[in-house]
Chain A
């Protein structure tokens, strides 16, 4: 009985928490006149599906594809550089390691909105702006990397040193121990952090807006923002757009949820 009570409580928490997401979809279904009514309609009285209108009007598919490319690139670079560094930093002792960890944190202090101008100047100088999506990937990975390293480091510290030492005694090199013993053990932490990085980079906005000059290459967030500023009166259209934008991520998330969540509960070592 207590277990179902807990479930009910959990559902209540989730319902409260998810209200803004519900509100986004509810607003998307209202007519532009009814959204200003007081008291607000908790459920649209005459639901009006405008999704296809908004989707077609804005060629959203193309922009979602660009976002997907950019986010995949960012996640790949982050995992490639971050996993090893996080592992090494979890093991390392001494001043040098501290300095490295310190740099990792400090170097991501400024919000992208303040980093973007110097980066633009530098990228333009070396010709990177001719490859705008690559430029976005490289710049954003520098943001996500720190996040990834700090989190994965925490995962690696939970892998007991004895396991690694045992692997080394068994005749593995450090390289071998890392790939054969440590990585599989830390798999869940890495997976979760990577998913978080991917979801974050999917929403990247400031760099994409500034580096990508060609419209065909722009990401969905930039397109969404253009829409937002141009039609700031069209709240319904905006919520539709946001709803469409979020949908693929939600679907991927629901499909992967089992893996992610199992990863979570089983912990790093079980």
Chain B
């Protein structure tokens, strides 16, 4: 009796869908929540490098946070992170969107050529880092060669070792890495817009830009929200590229929060400092998540 009641609950409406959500969230809580809590807890503790196996450690209050704010590299690294995330997302999204729209047009082989862009997604960041390091090399790199041949620059640009360029080099490689992701997802979204909507608008005399602004953009709302939210998170997780290209250098010129946190935790063993940076990143992503959930609510209401 009870069993069949439960089975009915599962099969029907809220019960069925609720179970699906709970299963996934439970999984995430088990495998992802613990590391987060562990990190947040460590940011309030004094951590010695050999007490990683326990959670019982001396309480440090806000000391780790005040220490962190007083470090001379704090402000520059936060600023670098802002630039890194903003530029990466802005360019990944614009280029990705432009390509997605471009490949929406009807021409022979469009589907095949579009598929080629997934190559960036296939390569692990480790390999991407090695290849770009090679391209960026100041004295022998092919990028400088290309720019010089085109007459765009005179001398060499030391992409990786000049503090004025290092951060932007990492950003360029990161944009490259993120384009396929953006393009493919936006393509999926675009394909979901029914063609007759456009035809109707065309008959009403709307030009390309008007159609883009009044149809494409609004209908792409949910997809754009998802892509940006994930983009922020992916960019904040971009660790391998920094490690392979500049290691945050020279002189922290290309250091960003996620790499700094790792450096403190695993290079100089200021583990609580590393955890404090990570906790602040968590706070930032909470903000992004709230914005995303809000945008989802809006999408539901219209």
Q: Which residues of A contact B (CB under 8 A)?
A: 2-4, 6-7, 9-11, 13-14, 17-18, 20-21, 23-24, 27, 35-40, 42, 81-82, 84-85, 87-89, 91-93, 97-98, 100-115, 117-119, 121-122, 124, 138-139, 141-143, 145-147, 149-151, 153-155, 157-158, 173-175, 178, 188-189, 192, 196, 199-200, 202-203, 205, 221, 224-225, 228, 235, 238-239, 242, 245-246, 249-250, 253, 257-258, 260-262, 264-270
**A92 vs B21: C-alpha distance when bound (angstroms):** 10
List residues of B whose CB falls within 8 A of some A CB.
Answer: 10-13, 16-18, 20-21, 23-25, 27-29, 31-36, 38-39, 52-53, 99, 102-103, 105-128, 130-132, 134-135, 139-142, 145, 176, 179, 181, 184-185, 187-189, 191-194, 222-223, 226, 229-230, 233, 236-240, 258, 261-262, 265-266, 274, 278, 281-282, 285-286, 288-290, 292-293, 296-297, 299-300
Please, which residue of chain A has its CB at the minimum distance from the CB of B286? A106
**The one of A97, A112, A264 that contacts B111, using a Cβ cutoff of 8 Å:** A264
Q: How far, in Å, is A5 (CB) from chain B's closest CB?
A: 8
Q: Which residues of A contact B226 (CB under 8 A)?
A: 150-151, 153-154
Q: Which residues of A contact B189 (CB under 8 A)?
A: 154
Please name all residues of chain A whose beta carbon is closer than 8 Å to the beta carbon of B112 when the two chains form the complex: 257, 261
Q: When the two chains form their complex, are residues B115 and A39 in contact, meaning their CB atoms are under 8 A apart?
A: no
- Write out the residue numbers on chain B whose beta carbons fall within 8 Å of the beta carbon of A196: 121, 181, 184
Kindly state the separation between the CA atoms of A153 and B292 in the bound complex, as whole angstroms.
13
Additional A-B contact list (19), CB under 8 Å, known A107-B32, A242-B131, A246-B122: A7-B109, A14-B116, A14-B117, A17-B176, A20-B131, A40-B141, A87-B20, A103-B29, A106-B282, A111-B238, A111-B258, A119-B35, A138-B31, A149-B24, A154-B188, A188-B188, A196-B121, A221-B126, A225-B126
Q: When the two chains form their complex, are residues B188 and A88 in contact, meaning their CB atoms are under 8 A apart? A: no
Give B127 Cβ to nearest chain A Cβ, in Å: 4
The one of A88, A157, A174, A258 in contact with B21, judged by C-beta atoms closer than 8 angstroms, is A88
Within the complex, the shortest CB–CB distance from A157 to chain B, in Å, comes to: 6
Instruction: Enumerate chain A residues within 8 angstroms of B107, measured Cβ to Cβ.
Output: 2-4, 6-7, 10
